[in-house]
Structure 1
Amino acid sequence: MARRVVIIGAGPAGTRAAETLVAAGIETTVIDRETASGGQIYRRPAKGVERPAPKLYGDDAPKAVALHATFDALKSKIDYRPGTEVFGISDRLLHLHDSTAMSELGFDALILATGATDRVTPLPGWTQPGVHSLGGAQIALKAQGCAIGHRVVFVGSGPLLTLVAAQYAEAGADVAAVLDTSSQSDLMRGAPLMTARPGLMFRGLKLRRVLRRHRIPYVTGVRDIRIDGDGTQVTGIRWTAGNRETQLACDGVGMGWHLRSENQLAQMAGCDFDWDPVARQMAPRIDEMGRSTRNGIYLAGDGTRILGADGAEIAGQLAAIACLEDLGRQGRHPVDSLLKRQKRMRRFARGLSLAFPFPDDLCTSLPDDALLCRCEAITAGEYRATIDRSHAIEPNRAKSLSRVGMGRCQGRYCGAAAARILAASGGLPLDEQPGLRPQAPVRPLPLGLKTPGGAAE
């Protein structure tokens, strides 16, 4: 009897999962909120934006082109639904919309390859017009061929910080500075583990050389960051490094601290989560193949562990193989080889987390007058007062009383900082806090959608 396997996401993990399932003769549906495959890392440019692959993807251009070709060859063999959002899951039913109408889709097995989003922390002035996440800045460059400002500063930590800054510099943008909250001692702490993938280590050094060639200052150990603006545009940024305070004029800021797994759908599906003490975020509980604690649900790619594009491709293959095994479709698959490679990816990822740690202190020291939750316009001081007044010790109770995390982003941008403020204010420690409970719709729905019955909402 035919079984319907649904994959959510058409990035590196989703593409390799689909390839593996199709090769085994499984009826496969791929749902992707983007209009073309590739995910964020290998995002394709919009129509009319002509830029060669080496300019878009750098050293990863051959991988991007190969992955795009693989998916394009699968289109005629799968039920492909681009531009379609999964906004909820109930039992074995997906709730979808394609910007015009809502629909429902049942499944026998589900592979979640939902990727990751920027991991940010609120800063004073971070809501000024002209402030973007690193991923947003990269999308502007890749998809639209434009920069986020005439004079841009990038702030945060992690490989994406250096990558996006170098991409902007190579595209001809005026990058005024790169401000890294990690220190040289952090880098040395993570370096031994990062030797698991020496090629990527050297690539990071190459990106630093790109910045030096363009004479872009790279400042480490940055703290006390404040973004200035006049309410209509960013005008500058201030920070301290060591005992020195510096101010720099700019009209665009890109910010981000590595990535956070996009796992709201996994939570809705009932998967169990554990605290990852190295990455310092909640991670779904899976076995080495990607099986979750919910029967028939598999997880792969950065939506599970932040292992990068190569790790996501491997995870997609492994999750598909696990799905095939559980469906009784045994076959010859290089499982041992894939697991061995994945082990190196995990070691490297742990090194990255140590080398570029999330700045917990920036969250706990956020000034009372700074906006914590931009969706609901709640300041850090108002959140602290709510915690003190109600004696809330866990984030969902604090959310219900303060509305922090209740807005359209559902805590994607404020959740990490709110959890750390809660822990510092007498709440549960981070490793004991449950995650914010997601609510459908995972993202806001457009107006005028037709319901499955045909009426417009």
Structure 2
Amino acid sequence: MNEFDLIVIGAGPAGVQAALAASSSGLAVALFDENAQAGGQVYRAPHGGIPAHGEADRQAGDALRHALAASLVRVFAAHSVWAVTGDYRVDAVGPDGPLHCTARALIVATGTTERVVPFDGWTTPGVIGLAAATILLKAQGVLPGRTTLVAGCGPLLAAVAGKTIAGGGEVVAIADLASSADWLRTLPALVTRPDLLAQGIAWWRAIRRAGTPRYARHTLERVEPVGERLRATLAPCDASGRPVAGARRTVDVDCVAVGHGLVPSTEITRLLRARHRYERAAGGWIADIDRDGRTSRERLYVCGDGAGIAGAAAAAAHGTLAGLACARDLGANPSGVSDAALASARAAHERDARFGRAMARLMALREGHVQGIGPDTTVCRCEDVTRADIEAACEAGAQDANQLKAWTRCGMGPCQGRSCGDVAAELLTHCVPGKTREDVGAWSARTPLRPVSVAALTGTYTYDDIPIPKAAPL
């Protein structure tokens, strides 16, 4: 049976907790995720044979997966969702081929995409995202490189550097867009989560013991191959992220791990025409929701970082809240969706979100950082669209994101603009006088939501399998 009360897309902490809360309230729930095991990015499950190290994230992820396994939630793991329709039909491709499910309601818990603001050489082999580095370290037990430069902004700098050092690698340097004063301003929010604060302090202590220098208010200017290694040039920058005059530093490494924050994944909610708004401190475009995760579209909910960056702990509480709200809206068992349960979930979400929102502000897109992109630097790596191409389209009359997409093919590649959309729209905003990010808008979402081959949808067949109607009588 492929008919459910609720379908949840995304099995990170938000999606799993939403599915568990709705299921325990009496709903028939299906949960989809493209990974083989639940956990998302933060609680990613290690591949077989990798020893456990007792980390808090590993323990939390295992607890999440055990709770899911013990529930009545039907889990479609290793399934890539490529289409969602307005009647909440979900089409996916999994190990056994294509399938579809329908539901009365839909919860979107698809998390985020990592943002990398382009610089000269960012497409060079050996340059990877901070999120990719965490996957290597957590799930694969593999170092990003024997020697690594960690660059960008936000808490992943310390996480990647600390885990790399713990794994026996060398972190040559950390280039941080933020200043020490920027970090100090987050302290009131950090103390609300002493467990996470203690984890961060432990990482920074390991970094200091290793003698790794941290260059505050520095940005990556370029990366170029030198023999079998990479040479990275670091430039001082101002508070907006724009490179300024001053001494440049160069480091030679095997790997450059770089990330400039996270962008909420809104492809599904945009496809379903829910109302959205632009909020820079929350990561960019987010669905407009009420306090329980309801969107402007009936029986469509969003929870977790896809509703605005707030961190894994807040995502779990937000998932519980959305699952309970959905169960109440669909008329589930009233005893499982009491006012007290909803109030408790709201309070937990708001408490945990303080920490995550402080980190999100550190990772927010900086206007000067984008303005520092060179004219010949590739912005859309799928279609080889440069900043100069974007500005030429603007001069020719492109006024919004979709015009830019039509004229340059920016955002038409396999990633469907997930990697370039935020930066391309920011560049366009500065090209068009008087335009805001709301005016410029975002790409229109299209099916397929993920690259999917024709063979995956059709399977194996021969011409004999094609039904041919009988000829009409003369």
Normalization by structure 1: what TM-score? Answer: 0.92
The residue aligned with 2:452 is 445
Cα drift, residue 201 of structure 1: 3.1
Deviation of 1:356 after TM superposition, in Å, equals: 4.1
Letter of the 1:384 counterpart: E
Which stretch has the larger CA shift, 123-132 or 439-448? Answer: 439-448
Q: Distance in 2 between matches of 1:12 and 1:23?
A: 16
Q: How many Å separate the matches in 2 of 1:235 and 1:101?
A: 41
**Stretch of structure 1 that moved more, 292-301 or 431-440:** 431-440
- Give 1:70's aligned amino acid: A
Asked if 1:119 is matched to 2:110, the reply is no
Distance 1:279 1:73, change over 3 A: same
**Partner SS for 2:219:** strand
Matches within 5 A, 1:281-430: 281-329=284-332, 330-331=334-335, 332=338, 334-388=341-395, 390-426=396-432, 428-430=435-437
Quote the offset at 1:136 in angstroms. 1.0
Mapping 1:137-148, distance limit 5 Å? 137-148=133-144
1:449 & 1:199 partners in 2: Cα distance?
A: 44
Report deviation, 1:299. Answer: 1.1
Residue identity opposite 2:47 in structure 1: A
Mapping for residues 3-402 of structure 1, pairs under 5 Å: 4-47=5-48, 49-54=49-54, 58-74=55-71, 77-92=72-87, 93-98=89-94, 101-223=97-219, 225-229=221-225, 235-241=230-236, 243-329=246-332, 330-331=334-335, 332=338, 334-388=341-395, 390-402=396-408
How many aligned positions are there?
448
Distance 1:454 1:110, change over 3 A: farther
Instruction: Specify whether residues 43 and 225 from structure 1 end up closer, same or farther in structure 2 by C-alpha distance, changes over 3 A only.
Output: same
In the alignment, the residues of structure 1 paired with residue 461 and residue 14 of structure 2 have an alpha-carbon distance, to the nearest angstrom, of: 34
| CA distance in 2: counterparts of 1:163 and 1:387, whole angstroms | 39
- Residue type at the aligned position of 1:78: V
More moved, 443-452 vs 180-189: 443-452
Question: For structure 1, which segment, 443-452 or 16-25, has the greater mean C-alpha deviation from structure 2 after superposition?
Answer: 443-452
1:19-57 deviation line (CA, Å, top 9, x unaligned) = 21222222111111111111111111122x322142xxx
* Cα distance, 1:354–1:8 mapped onto 2, change above 3 Å: closer
> SS of 1:449's equivalent?
helix
Cα displacement (A) at 1:322: 0.7
Partners of 1:90 and 1:12 in 2: how far apart? Answer: 25
Per the TM alignment, residue 433 of structure 1 is displaced from its structure 2 partner at its CA by 2.8
Q: Which amino acid in structure 2 is aligned with residue 67 of structure 1? A: L
Cα 1:83–1:355 shift into 2, 3 Å: closer
- Partner AA of 1:395 in structure 2: A
1:144-166: CA deviation from partner (whole Å, max 9, x where unpaired): 22122221111110111211111
Structure 1 Cα separation of the partners of residues 140 and 59 of structure 2: 21
Preserved CA contact (<8 Å) 1:364 1:417: no
Q: Offset at 1:200?
A: 2.7
Distance 1:95 1:233 in 2: 44
For residue 139 of structure 1, give the secondary structure of its aligned residue in structure 2. helix
Q: How many Å separate the matches in 1 of 2:355 and 2:436?
A: 27
SS in 2 for 1:132: strand
CA distance in 2, matches of 1:272, 1:234: 47
Alpha-carbon distance between aligned partners in 1 of 2:32 and 2:414, rounded to the nearest angstrom: 22
Letter of the 2:6 partner, please give it: V
Cα shift at 1:3: 5.1
CA distance in 1, matches of 2:342, 2:391: 49
Gaps of 5+ in 1: none
Aligned to 2:241: none
How far, CA to CA, are the matches of 1:10 and 1:277 in structure 2? 25
Counterpart Cα distance in 2 of 1:447 and 1:140? 30
Q: CA deviation at 1:306?
A: 1.7
Q: Please tell me whether the aligned partners of residues 310 and 360 of structure 2 are also in contact (alpha carbons under 8 angstroms).
A: no
- The answer for unaligned runs of 5 or more in structure 2 is 238-245, 467-474
- Are the counterparts in 2 of residues 128 and 233 from structure 1 also a CA contact under 8 Å? no
CA distance in 2, matches of 1:371, 1:104: 38
Q: Match for 2:127: what amino acid? A: V
Q: Are the equivalent residues in 2 in contact too, given 1:395–1:435 (CA < 8 A)? A: yes
| Paired residue secondary structure (2:231) | strand
Query: Cα gap change, 1:224/1:158 in structure 2, threshold over 3 Å: closer, same or farther?
Result: closer
CA RMSD of aligned residues (A): 2.3
Equivalent position amino acid for 1:437 in 2: S
Larger mean Cα displacement after TM superposition, 183-192 or 302-311? 183-192
Answer whether contact 1:32 1:82 (CA < 8 A) is retained. yes
Q: Which moved more, 1:213-222 or 1:235-244?
A: 235-244
TM-score by length of 2: 0.89
The residue that corresponds to 1:435 in the other structure is 442
SS at match of 2:457: coil
Residue 100 of structure 1, CA deviation = 5.5
CA distance in 1, matches of 2:36, 2:422: 30
Distance in 2, matches of 1:67 and 1:224, equals 37
Give me the identity figure in percent.
29
What is the alpha-carbon distance in structure 2 between the residues aligned to residue 3 and residue 175 of structure 1?
49
The structural deviation recorded for 1:320 is: 0.8
